[in-house]
Amino acid sequence: MLVDMADMLRHAQSHGYAVGAFDLVSLDFLQAILAGAENQCAPVILSLAESHYSYFDPELLMPAVRVAAERAPSPTGMR
């Protein structure tokens, strides 16, 4: 489920836990990150770093990331 990242981080801070943020460069990375979050019942932040844009076309990958985040069972933020 796609959530507001600020809300996610406020909740984490007030409850004393961290939220992992992971850079992805492909759909394989995306699937693995979300599978790990689901396996651990943990929230996650998906990050598309500008320094990795040579690995993918951000205009193509961003819509896939958004749909995957919306469908994910774990709270998922994007940056």
Q: Where are the domains of the chain?
A: 5-78
Percentage, residues of the chain above pLDDT 90:
77
pLDDT band at 79 (very low <50, low <70, confident <90, very high): confident
Average pLDDT over residues 15-44: 96
Report the SS3 class of residue 50: helix
Query: What per-residue confidence (pLDDT) applies to 5?
Result: 95
Provide the residue type at 28 as one letter.
D
pLDDT band at 18 (very low <50, low <70, confident <90, very high): very high
- For the entire predicted model, the pTM comes to 0.90
In angstroms, what CA-CA distances link 34 with 5, 9, 14, 15? Answer: 16, 18, 24, 22
